[in-house]
């Protein structure tokens, strides 16, 4: 088995960029409340990203490509990765903060362990169990706002519950990526980041569009300020950012970084997202992090570090 390359400053920069962009996505989702409904924001994000990517990966949409040979699989990947995950995140940000949302999302490796054991028969070691307990304890600290009375009373903010569901969705999506079908055309498609992303986005946009349509059917029943688009430069610039940054640049940089040092090392960089979210929230939203955020972050990252150690 070939050894992974050592972590160089250039590779570290590649792996730091995605968490920064993902944190910016969470903060922008909070800023867009009252400007664009959350499911519509998700649809516009991926539709614009698809148009930007089209010149590099249009061949994926042609008859005979691996997309059409594996339509069901790409439909599921598109539903989980584009249709649901970010939609749930944007909905969560209506009642939760970017720091909380990114901290709960940082527990995803724990759910991946559990899903892998339940559905793929992957054994969970004692070290992984200890890591999962620490990470779940960190999530509990965040959800309880540092108050065990709140946690024991199950008084969760709706956004936190939605983000927990999103973490499960992303864990399922990740296992589908980790267990690809044995097929030459599918394997060749995976080797091109733009083509593989396009195959998911082509069907993911349809899912997100359908969810946005359902949202607009329900909008008349929502409070004032949530039932319309506020067109202007803030919305346009926000859409360009989420389409180019978190959707395309982050995906490309992450794929290149993982290829260089492997997923175990890269995973630690992913957990920088809550730190960047805390900094951006303080600067842009006036929502400074609390002590329980730091405690939750230490427990979550500590649990993942324990699980990933050889």
Which residue reads 């936190």 in tokens?
Answer: 160
State the Cα–Cα distance between residues 310 and 40, nearest whole angstrom.
43
The per-residue pLDDT for 244 is 96
The per-residue pLDDT for 1 is 41
State the Cα–Cα distance between residues 45 and 86, nearest whole angstrom.
10
The per-residue pLDDT for 154 is 47
Has residue 228 got a pLDDT over 60? Answer: yes
Residues 29-62 have pLDDT tens digits of 999 988 999 999 999 999 999 999 999 999 999 9
Indicate the range of 75-84, 92-101, 159-168, 253-262 predicted with least confidence.
253-262
Q: What percent of the chain has pLDDT over 90?
A: 37
The per-residue pLDDT for 50 is 96
The per-residue pLDDT for 123 is 82
Query: Which tokens belong to 257?
Result: 């970084």
State the Cα–Cα distance between residues 242 and 228, nearest whole angstrom.
20
Residues 260-270 have pLDDT tens digits of 876 656 766 77
Average pLDDT over residues 193-220: 91
The per-residue pLDDT for 282 is 83
Distances, alpha carbon 289 to alpha carbons 82, 99, 280, 298, in Å: 29, 7, 10, 14
User: What's this model's pTM, rounded to 2 decimal places?
Assistant: 0.85
Q: What percent of the chain has pLDDT over 70?
A: 87
Average pLDDT over residues 144-165: 74
């Amino acid at each position: 088995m070939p050894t992974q390359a050592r972590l160089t400053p250039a590779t570290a920069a590649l792996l730091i960029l995605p968490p920064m962009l993902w944190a910016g996505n969470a903060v922008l989702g909070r800023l867009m409340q009252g400007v664009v409904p959350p499911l519509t924001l998700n649809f516009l994000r991926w539709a614009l990203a698809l148009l930007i990517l089209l010149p590099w990966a249009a061949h994926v949409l042609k008859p005979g490509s691996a997309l059409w040979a594996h339509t069901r699989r790409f439909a599921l990947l598109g539903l989980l990765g584009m249709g649901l995950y970010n939609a749930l995140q944007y909905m969560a940000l209506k009642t939760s903060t970017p720091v909380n949302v990114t901290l709960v999302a940082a527990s995803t490796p724990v759910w991946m362990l559990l899903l892998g054991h339940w559905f793929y028969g992957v054994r969970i070691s004692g070290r992984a169990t200890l890591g999962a307990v620490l990470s779940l304890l960190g999530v509990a600290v965040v959800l309880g706002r540092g108050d065990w009375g709140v946690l024991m009373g199950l008084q969760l903010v709706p956004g936190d519950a939605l983000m927990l569901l999103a973490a499960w969705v992303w864990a399922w999506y990740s296992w589908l990526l980790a267990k690809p079908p044995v097929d030459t055309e599918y394997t060749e498609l995976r080797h091109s980041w733009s083509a593989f992303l396009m195959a998911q986005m082509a069907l993911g946009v349809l899912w997100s569009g359908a969810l946005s349509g359902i949202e607009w059917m329900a909008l008349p029943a929502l409070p004032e300020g949530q039932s319309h688009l506020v067109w202007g430069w803030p919305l346009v610039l926000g859409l360009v950012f989420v389409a180019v940054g978190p959707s395309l640049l982050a995906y490309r940089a992450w794929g290149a970084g993982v290829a260089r040092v492997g997923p175990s090392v890269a995973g630690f960089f992913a957990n920088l997202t809550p730190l960047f979210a805390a900094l951006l929230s303080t600067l842009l939203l006036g929502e400074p992090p609390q002590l329980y955020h730091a405690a939750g972050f230490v427990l979550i990252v500590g649990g993942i570090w324990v699980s990933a150690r050889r």
